[in-house]
Amino acid sequence: MFLRLPAVPQPWRYWLLLGSYGLFLLLGTAVFVGVEAPQEAGLREALRGARAGFVRQHQSCLSEPGLERLLERVLDADSYGISALGNVSDDENWDFSSALFFAASVLTTTGYGHTVPLSDGGKVFCIFYTLLGLPATLLLATCLLQRLMGLLSHRPVQYLHTHWGISSGHAALGHAAAMGLGVLGLFILLPALCFWALENGWTFLESVYFCFISLSTIGLGDYVPGRGSPSSLRHLYKISITCYLLLGLLAMLLALETIYELREVHSLVRFFAPPRAPASPSSEDDDQMEILSRDQLGLATVCGATPSGSQADSEADGRVAPHDGPSG
């Protein structure tokens, strides 16, 4: 069953898409302002009160300009991932496990922002390392997705269609829903339970929030795991988190690619896509042959085999090559 969309003239579809996205952006803006602005105002007021009380309590031995300079140094160090708190002051940002976590967050474009290069040489190296690393990461992710799509997406749908008699559209829709729920459970909810148990002060909602923000490569950096963890397990913990982020990102991309291949999604994309230029009479046969070849290639990809050129030509012409029996 294809997705039925209202009949809208083609010139108006772009304006409909643009207007809908603009309204969606304004809706998010209004919600964030209404929810977060009162919290920010309360936090600012509490901070001003705490600062004024601290100055009054220690005015005999601490001047207000001296406190300002101290706070500026603390905030400047915190922006580079160095905390002034005593319980986390021993955490290093550039040991092996922390540097590996930083490199993975850069190459996956997550970029938490809690750790940044301090030296000019490190900043220059980060630029060139990213210029080479991002295309390599995209290439690796594309190759892995192509292999995993055939194994974990196309074959299960074909199996449901062939052995269970389910239509290909319903099988693809059910498989996409199952894969989405599987990614949600295995790579968001289950890791969130682990972070909830291991990270001091994190609620379950905050753990779920961190997993989703990380796997969607948003990486706001307001929650970063591994801070304040025991030094004996901190390296192993950060390496494990790095592996989780890489595998979780691949699983997220696999689920999104599976959803994108649904007929309903293709119908929605075609609805907003520009109209195709009318084909000339001389090229109609070539267009039909190209469409048929793409259909055969898609079916062969699902079945796990690629038809040869002679087989594709014979099938396109509606002819089946006779099978030669054994000689003699």
pLDDT band at 301, cuts 50/70/90? very low
Reported as a pLDDT band with limits 50, 70 and 90, residue 294 is: very low
Residue 115 lies in a domain: yes
44 assigned to some structural domain: no
Q: Is residue 236 part of a domain?
A: yes
Q: Strand, helix or coil at 182?
A: helix
Asked if residue 198 has pLDDT above 60, the reply is yes
Q: pLDDT tens across 212-237, in order?
A: 999 999 998 889 887 656 566 788 88
* Residue 15 confidence (pLDDT) above 80: yes
pLDDT of 183 > 70? The answer is yes
Of all residues in the chain, what percent carry a pLDDT higher than 90? 45
Q: Is the pLDDT of residue 185 over 90?
A: yes
Residues 211/191, Cβ–Cβ less than 8 Å: yes
Enumerate helices (H) and strands (E) in the chain, giving the number of each.
12, 0
Give residue-wise pLDDT tens across range 39-59: 999 999 998 898 888 888 887
CA distance readout (Å), 123 to 99, 153, 177, 182, 211: 14, 41, 43, 39, 28
Tokens of 205: 């909602």
Report the pLDDT averaged over residues 150-179.
Answer: 92
**Owner of token pair 């907003």:** 272
- Give me the pLDDT at residue 259, please: 93
- Residues of the chain by 3-state class (helix, strand, coil), percent to 5: 70, 0, 30
Task: Please enumerate in sequence order all residues whose Cβ is within 8 A of that of 257, keeping only pairs 6 or more positions apart, or say none.
Answer: 145, 149, 153
Angle at 155 between CA 151 and CA 161, to 5 degrees: 165
Question: Taking 70 as the threshold, does the pLDDT of residue 131 lie above it?
Answer: yes
Evaluate whether residue 139 is within a structural domain: yes
* Tally of CA atoms within 13 A in the half-sphere of 293 that contains its CB: 12
CB 2 within 8 A of CB 263: yes
Please tell me the distance from the alpha carbon of residue 154 to that of residue 131, in angstroms, as a whole number: 33
Mind listing the pLDDT tens digit for each residue in 66-110? 888 888 888 777 777 777 776 554 567 788 888 999 999 999 999
What is the residue range of 249's domain?
A: 93-272
Residue 21 lies in a domain: no
- Let me know if residue 107 belongs to a domain: yes
User: Cβ(152)–Cβ(306) under 8 Å?
Assistant: no
- pLDDT at position 311, please? 41
Q: For the domain that residue 164 is a member of, what is the CATH number? A: 1.10.287.70
Flag whether pLDDT at 298 surpasses 50.
no
Q: 208 in a domain, yes or no?
A: yes
pLDDT at position 87:
55
Distance CA 291, CA 298 (A): 11
For residue 104, tell me if it sits in a domain.
Answer: yes
Per-residue pLDDT, 50 = 87
Instruction: Output the pLDDT for position 73.
Output: 85
Query: Lowest-pLDDT range, 140-149, 158-167, 265-274?
Result: 265-274
Q: Is pLDDT at 297 greater than 70 in this prediction? A: no
Average pLDDT in the chain: 80
| pTM of the entire predicted model | 0.74
Rounded distance between C-alpha atoms, residue 157 and residue 133, angstroms? 34
pLDDT reading at 195 higher than 60:
yes
Query: Can you give the pLDDT at residue 320?
Result: 41
Contact 84, 77 (CB under 8 A): yes
Q: Of 98-102, 151-155, 186-190, which one has max mean pLDDT? A: 186-190
User: Nearest Cα to 242, choosing from 191, 307, 276, 278?
Assistant: 191
User: Euclidean distance between the first and final Cα of the chain, in Å?
Assistant: 52
The reported pLDDT for the residue numbered 322 is 44
How many domains would you assign to the chain? 1
